[in-house]
Amino acid sequence: MTLDARLVVTRPAFTLDLALRAERGKVVALLGPNGAGKTTALRALAGLSPLSGGHISLRGRPLHTLPAESRPIGMVFQDYLLFPHLSALDNVAFGPRCQGVSKAESRRVAAELLERVGLAGHAAARPRQLSGGQAQRVALARALAVRPELLLLDEPLAALDAHTRLEVRSRLRRHLAEFDGATVLVTHDPLDAMVLADRLVVIEGGAVVQQGTPGEVARRPRTDYVARLVGLNLYRGAADGGRVDVGGLLVHTSEQFDGPAFVAFAPTAVAIYRSRPDGSPRNLWQATIEGVERHGDNVRVHLDGPVTAFADVTPAAVADLDLTPGQRIWASVKATETHAYPA
Amino acid sequence: MLVVPAVAGLAFLVLPLAGLLIRAPWSTLPARLAEPHVLEALRLSLVSATVATACCLLLGVPLAWLLARVRFPGRRLVRALVTVPLVLPPVVGGVALLLVLGRRGLVGQWLESAFGVTLPFTTAGVVIAEMFVAMPFLVISVEGALRGADQRFEEAAATLGASRWTVFRRVTLPMVMPGVAAGAVLCWARALGEFGATITFAGNFPGTTRTMPLAVYLALETEPEAAIVLSLVLLAVSVVILAALRDRWVSTP
C-alpha cells in the first residue's frame, strides 16, 4: 500500500471525512459533484489545506506532519498554474532546482520530460504561447520532474475544449500508466474517471458513497448521483426472491435474493406503448410523460408515475407514437434487462 | 455647467508649468547647467535619491510582503503607520528624525557613542530623510501588486518543493515586478523632490546635503534664472517618469 490516508477537514457548514488508499502504479479517481469536497481532499493531501484530523501515510511514513514543500508529491492544478514568467523548460526545471539539482542537470531532466510528453519543440515557449493541451502536458511534466511518489491531478481535463480533451485524455492515460507511484485524480466527469482510473471513489457531501473499479461502479450504482453519471435508472427497495418492491412498483428481476436491494436498468431498456401491450411483459406500468429531450442520437423521455424513469427511444418512435409532455403511456422493462443487487 | 470649472482647473495645473517654460533663459541654459554648483546639486540629488530608493527596496519590499501575505495581530495598525509619512508634513518628519537620530536623539546618541556615527547634516542624513518620506509610496505600490497576484502560483511552487524564500524570490517577486518597478520609480521621484525633511534633518551644505530642491529654493533669492533652470531639470525628470509609467496611470481602462 503506497498511500493510506484518512482526511478530516472541518469547516463551518462542511465536513470532509474520507478514507483513501492508493497503490503503487494505480490511479484512484475521486469523483463527485461540485462542492463534494474533492478538491479539498486533494489540497489536504498536498499540504495546501490543513487537516482537522486523520492522517496521511505514504509508504509507511507520515506525511501530514510535513509542510507542502517537503512532501514527495507532484500536483497538476486545474488551470495548470504554469509560471508565466518562465519558459516551458524552466517551468519543468523548477522542481529539480528546488531540490538542489544543478541548473544544467535540472534543464537536462526538464528537456527529457518535455520530450516524453511530446513538447521538445516548445521548450523555449512561454506558457501564454501554449495551447490548452500543451499547457496541460507541461504541467504534467513539471509535476513529474520532482520524481514524486504521489501524483495529484485536479480536474486535469476540465479546462480543455471537447475536441482537445479526447486526445489529451488518451495521452494522459498513457503517461499515468508509465508512472510508478500512486496517482489520485479529482474529476466530476465520469468518462475521465472511467478511462483514467483503476479505482473510483465517489464522494458526496464530504463522505464516500461508493467505491470500486470503474466497471463495478458503472454496473452497480448505489446513489442517484452515480446512477445519473453512468446513465442508469436506479431504485432502492426490498427484494423478495426474484421481485423487488421499489415502492409503488414490483420489479421482476433475473437475480434471486432477499433483503434490501438496488435495481438498475438502462434507459434504452425501457419500451413505450400508447396502449396496454399484448402478451403483457412482467414489468409494466402506466406513466405520464414529463418531458422529451434530445440525447445523443436518441430521444430521452422523462416518465413520471409509480416510479420516475428515463426512457431512451429513437426519434422515429417519438414521431410514430406522437410522444408529447403530459401524455399517458405504458412503459415496460424486460426482467432480463434489469439488474438487482444487495443494498 | 461643469466645463467652466473643469477648464479653470486644468489651466490652474498647467499654467505654472507653462510659465516656467516661457520664462526659461533658453540661450544661457547650457552654460547655467554646466555651472559647478548646479552640477554638484544635480549629482548629489541623483545619487541620494538612487541610494534611498535602493534602501527602500531592501526594506520596503519585505515590509509590503509582510503586510500582504502574513496575518498577524495589529496588521491594520501597521499598515496605517506605514502610510503616516504620506500625509505628514515633511518638515515634521525632519523634526521627528532629528529627535530620534539627531546627536542628542534617542538612537542618535547611541549611534555616536557606539560607532562614532552622526547622521544629521551629512549625505547619509539626506538619504535617511528621503527614505522616510518616499518609502510609503514603494510599500503601497508593492503591497497592492502582491494582493493582486494570484497566490495559487505560490502554492504550485510549494508543491514543487520550493521553500518560502525560494517561492518569494523565484515566483512572487518576478510576478509582481511591474508593481515593484512602478513603486521604485514613484519612490525615486518623491526622493528626488524631497525638500522639507531634508533641510530640517540634513541641513543645507553645498556638496554634502544641498540637493536640487534646496538649490532651487536658495537660488530663487539670489539668481532667479538659475532657479528656473534647476526647476526645468526637475520638471524634465517628472515628465520622463510620467512617460515611463503612462501605461500604469494615464491610460484609461
Measured between CB atoms, which of B161, B175, B177 is closest to A98? B161
pLDDT at B247: 66
Residue A81 touches partner B, C-beta closer than 8 Å: yes
Q: Average pLDDT in the A39-53 region?
A: 92
A301 three-class SS: strand
To which H or E segment does residue A259 belong?
Answer: strand A250-265
State which CATH number among 1.10.3720.10, 2.60.40.10, 1.10.10.410, 3.40.50.620 fits the domain covering B33-251: 1.10.3720.10
- What average pLDDT does the segment A58-64 reach? 90
Instruction: Classify burial at A211, counting beta carbons within 10 Å of its beta carbon; exposed 0-12, middle 13-18, buried 19 or more.
Output: buried
Q: Which amino acid is at A310?
A: F
Whether residue A68 and residue B174 make contact (CB cut-off 8 A), yes or no, is: no
* Selection from A125, A122, A67 nearest residue A98 by Cα: A67
Q: What pLDDT does residue A80 have?
A: 93
3-class SS at B245? Answer: coil
CB contact under 8 A, B152 and A77: yes
Chain B: closest CA distance from residue A69 (Å): 4
Shortest alpha-carbon distance between residue B173 and chain A (Å): 10
Q: Which residue of B has its CA nearest to A90?
A: B170
Q: What is the mean pLDDT of residues B175-199?
A: 92
Buried b (16+ CB within 10 A) or exposed e, B206-234: eebbbbbbbbbebbeeeeeebbbbbbbbb
**A297's grid cell:** 442520437
Percentages (nearest 5) of helix, strand, coil residues in chain B: 80, 0, 20
The stretch A131-135 carries a mean pLDDT of 91
Nearest to B161 among A83, A99, A152 (CB): A99
Q: Higher model confidence: residue A296 or residue B174? A: B174
Is it the case that residue B154 has pLDDT exceeding 80?
Answer: yes
The one-character DSSP state at B170 is I
Residue extents of the structural domains in chain B: 33-251
| A48 with B175: Cβ contact below 8 A | no
Substitution target from B153, B160, B167 for chain A, most A beta carbons within 10 A: B160
- List phi, psi (to 5°) of A176: -65, -35
CA distances from A330 to A248, A263, A303, A308, B131 (A): 15, 20, 10, 13, 85
Closest CB to A81 among B153, B163, B166: B153
- Label residue A4 by pLDDT band (50, 70, 90): very high
* Predicted pLDDT at A295: 85
Q: What are the grid coordinates assigned to B132, written together?
A: 522616510
The pLDDT score that the predictor gives to residue B233 is 87
Q: For residues B198-224, give the mean pLDDT.
A: 89
Q: Quick one: cell of A18?
A: 474520507
- Regarding beta strands A182-187 and A27-31, do their DSSP bridges make them parallel or antiparallel, or are they unpaired? parallel
Taking alpha carbons only, the member of B45, B220, B15, B29 closest to residue B126 is B45
Write down the pLDDT at residue A29. Answer: 94
**Is residue B221 predicted with pLDDT exceeding 60?**
yes
ipTM: 0.82
Contact residues, chain B, for A136 at CB < 8 Å: none
> What residues in chain B have their Cβ under 8 A from chain A's Cβ atoms?
150, 152-153, 155-163, 166, 170-171, 174-175, 177
Average pLDDT of chain B to the nearest whole number: 89
Model confidence at B166: pLDDT above 90: yes
Minimal Cα–Cα distance from A146 to chain B, Å? Answer: 7
Residue B52 is predicted with a pLDDT of 96
The answer, yes or no, to whether residue A321 has pLDDT greater than 80, is yes
Cell of B165: 524564500
Residue pair B159/A46 in contact by the 8 Å Cβ criterion: yes
Going by C-beta distance under 8 Å and a sequence separation of 6 or more, which residues neighbour residue B49? B130, B188, B191, B192, B194
Closest CA to A205 of A9, A6, A11, A32: A32
Query: What average pLDDT does the segment A83-96 reach?
Result: 95
Q: Which residue has the higher pLDDT, B247 or A116?
A: A116
Q: Does A146 touch chain B (CB under 8 A)?
A: yes
The whole-model pTM stands at: 0.81
| Contacting residues of A for B153, CB less than 8 Å apart | 81, 83
Check residue A280 and give its pLDDT.
66
Give the pLDDT band (50/70/90) at residue B173.
Answer: very high
Q: Checking phi first, is residue A203 left (phi over 0); if not, alpha (psi -120 to 50) or beta?
A: beta
Q: Which residues in chain A have their CB less than 8 angstroms from residue B158's CB?
A: 47-48, 67-69
pLDDT band at A141 (very low <50, low <70, confident <90, very high): very high
Percentage of chain A with pLDDT > 90? 50
Whether B158 sits inside 8 A of A68 (CB atoms) is yes
Closest CB to B160: pick one of A47, A98, A152: A98
**Confidence class of residue B20 from pLDDT cuts 50, 70 and 90?**
confident
**Class of residue A256 by CB neighbours under 10 A (exposed 0-12, middle 13-18, buried 19+):** exposed
What is the arithmetic mean of pLDDT over B210-225? 88
pLDDT digits (tens, 9 = 90+) for A185-204: 999 888 888 889 999 999 99
Set of chain B residues whose Cβ sits within 8 Å of the Cβ of A70: 161
User: B160 and A142 in contact by Cβ < 8 A?
Assistant: yes
Q: What is the mean pLDDT of residues A133-147?
A: 93
Confidence of residue B252 (pLDDT cuts 50, 70, 90): very low
Residue B251 has pLDDT above 50, yes or no: no
Q: Which of A59, A224, A81, A219 is nearest to A153 (CA)?
A: A81
Which residues of B fall within a CB distance of 8 Å from A142? Answer: 160
Q: Does A141 touch chain B (CB under 8 A)?
A: no
Q: Would you state the pLDDT for residue B249?
A: 54
Does position A1 have pLDDT exceeding 70, yes or no? no
Considering only CB atoms, B161 lies closest to which of A69, A85, A152, namely A69
pLDDT > 70: percent of chain A = 99
Round to whole Å and give the CA distance between A70 and A72. Answer: 6
Q: Considering CB atoms only, which of A47, A69, A81 is closest to B162? A: A69
Average pLDDT, chain A: 90
Does the distance separating the beta carbons of B153 and A69 come in below 8 Å?
no
